[in-house]
Amino acid sequence: MGLFTRVAQPGDANTATAVGNDNGIGLSQNESQAPNKIMSRRDRKYGDKNRPAYDESVLNRRPPFGQWLKVTWPDILTMIVMGAIGLGVYEAPPAPNRSFPVYFPDGDVVYPQFAYPLRHEIVPIWAAALLASLVPIFIFLVMQLRIRSFWDVNNAVIGLLYSLITAAVFQVFLKWLIGGLRPHFLDVCKPRVPQYGNPIGNGFDGIMYDRSWCTGDKNEIDDSLESFPSGHTTAAFGGFVFLYLYLNAKLKVWSNYHPAYWKLIVTYMPILGAVLIGGALTIDEYHNWYDVFAGAVIGTVMAFSAYRMVYASVWDFRFNHIPLMRHLPMAYGSGPSAIDGFHDAMWTRQAGWGVEAGGAWGGTPFDAADGPRGSRGVATAAAETAGAGAAGRHARHANGDEYAGHGSVSRKPISGSNTTARGEQIV
């Protein structure tokens, strides 16, 4: 099992309450009601018939390759198809036949900002793509020295690929269908038009021309007509913003305690890298500033979307370190989570983080259910953990907590005589 497997303690009775399907990853509802009697194929394979089917030792165990492939193959196939589509569109000539002015009738150059010389890129597109993919993957693997969770590194790598591939396909379609003039367009086009006095183009005063007047290299002209948006910047932000969100979750920078300053620096280093890659394109005159800005927006949106697909939250520090399972739903809100086996799936070990009853039991709502976990009192938590049925429900109602195992919301103020929340939990 090696690097990605932790030796976990036996799970709580509630770790088998989530509903999925019996395909080696999740349980049906009937099975979840009797986890010690009905075992999934995956648990029968591991041979331990005396434990609940989905306690934390299962969540932190690397599955057989066949089981992993059975769950992941649709994503792999989709990524291959999307990659092929993106490559085909990238190789296609630009769809629009743009018109452009060169000279006014008096001989003045209309748009000198498109007359810069063609220069080599400071950061080639292949280097930007490799940096945006290999650097985050390297960081994910280094983090496993402490996290040691197969599903964490699996979700991180797959989520990164979601972000990069989706952003790449998005931007190549925009390049193909919209495009724009690069700052070196006129130098590449080399148009042969009258310089002054007698324009023979089209449009107002005959000063507009199209690529049929160009005499330069066809491939260079095609490329110089596809400036918007910046592919370099899209790739850089798609990869490095995803890494930024990952580091924030694993280091608990925006959390319920005061972290060390170096964690903030480390978290924003990927953002600095992405900005430098994008900014370099304005130095070598390969892109206009608005091309870079659009690429940054596209990459950032895709990174946020991809991270939220594979982790339980983006900003809610109680859950943003927890990798989501394909067929095991996350239970938000008050009470023990269905996947509390990931309570130590982060790098930091301060302020109680990394232990089952530590920092993850307090928090503030963002995109998860309201109601800090652990704020209902010791008696209520014990009743729920023991699966006390009617007694547990009575205890919950007695404390004003509507939680019923599916992330419902507690509306009772957390400060009071019947709460055991510590000061740093009341945030």
Q: Is residue 16 part of a domain?
A: yes
Note the residue count of the chain.
427
Measure the N-to-C terminal CA separation of the chain; round to a whole number of Å: 39
Residue 153 reports pLDDT greater than 50: yes
Q: Is residue 192 part of a domain?
A: no
Which range has the worst mean pLDDT, 63-77, 132-146, 222-236, 362-376?
362-376
Q: Is residue 21 part of a domain?
A: yes
Instruction: Name the helix (H) or strand (E) containing 208.
Output: strand 208-209
Specify the pLDDT at position 112. Answer: 84
Residue 139 reports pLDDT greater than 80: yes
- Parallel, antiparallel, or unpaired: how do β-strands 208-209 and 100-101 relate? antiparallel
Cα(357)–Cα(277) distance, rounded to whole angstroms? 42
Cα(171)–Cα(154) distance, rounded to whole angstroms? 26
Q: 401: helix, coil or strand?
A: strand
Specify the pLDDT at position 239. Answer: 97
Give the model's confidence band at 5: pLDDT under 50 very low, under 70 low, under 90 confident, else very high.
Answer: low
Instruction: Name the helix (H) or strand (E) containing 140.
Output: helix 125-147
- Per residue in 325-378, pLDDT (tens digit) is 887 777 776 444 445 677 778 888 887 787 765 554 444 455 544 444 434 444
Residue 388 reports pLDDT greater than 60: no
Q: Is residue 269 part of a domain?
A: no
Specify the pLDDT at position 195. Answer: 65
Contact 25, 71 (CB under 8 A): yes
| Total domains, the chain | 1
The segment with the largest mean pLDDT, out of 114-128, 191-205, 245-259, 297-311, is 297-311
Closest CA to 81 of 169, 205, 170: 169
**Residue 148 or 236, more confident:** 236
| pTM score of the predicted model | 0.73
Question: Torsions phi, psi of 180, nearest 5?
Answer: 160, 170
Q: CB-based contacts of 189: which residues, under 8 Å, 6+ apart?
A: 211, 213, 214, 215, 216, 221, 224
**Residue 269 or 7, more confident:** 269
Specify the pLDDT at position 64. Answer: 87
- Per residue in 206-222, pLDDT (tens digit) is 778 888 888 989 999 99
Q: How many Cα atoms occupy the beta-carbon half-sphere of 60 within 13 Å?
A: 25
Specify the pLDDT at position 404. Answer: 38
Which range has the worst mean pLDDT, 91-100, 225-234, 259-268?
91-100
**Residue 25 or 285, more confident:** 285
Q: Is residue 121 part of a domain?
A: no
Written as six digits, the tokens of 367 are: 């995109």
**Residue 365 or 181, more confident:** 181
**Residue 419 or 82, more confident:** 82
Tell me which residue range forms the domain holding 51.
2-59
Q: Is residue 50 part of a domain?
A: yes
Q: Is residue 29 part of a domain?
A: yes
Q: Is residue 40 part of a domain?
A: yes
Specify the pLDDT at position 291. Answer: 95
- Per residue in 389-417, pLDDT (tens digit) is 444 444 444 444 443 333 333 334 434 44
Q: Is 205 exposed, middle or buried (0-12, 13-18, 19+ CB in 10 A)?
A: exposed
Specify the pLDDT at position 353. Answer: 81
Q: Rounded mean pLDDT of the chain?
A: 74
Residue 108 reports pLDDT greater than 80: no
Instruction: Name the helix (H) or strand (E) containing 296.
Output: helix 289-310
Specify the pLDDT at position 209. Answer: 84
Q: CB-based contacts of 301: which residues, under 8 Å, 6+ apart?
A: none
Q: CB-based contacts of 214: which residues, under 8 Å, 6+ apart?
A: 188, 189, 190, 191, 221
Specify the pLDDT at position 208. Answer: 83
Percentage of the chain surpassing pLDDT 70?
65
Specify the pLDDT at position 335. Answer: 47
Residue 276 reports pLDDT greater than 80: yes
Residue 21 reports pLDDT greater than 60: no
Provide mean pLDDT across the span 18-35. 40
Cα(172)–Cα(227) distance, rounded to whole angstroms? 10
Instruction: Name the helix (H) or strand (E) containing 101.
Output: strand 100-101
Q: CB-based contacts of 242: which residues, under 8 Å, 6+ apart?
A: 136, 159, 160, 163, 303, 306, 307
Give the model's confidence band at 15: pLDDT under 50 very low, under 70 low, under 90 confident, else very high.
Answer: very low
Q: 220: helix, coil or strand?
A: helix
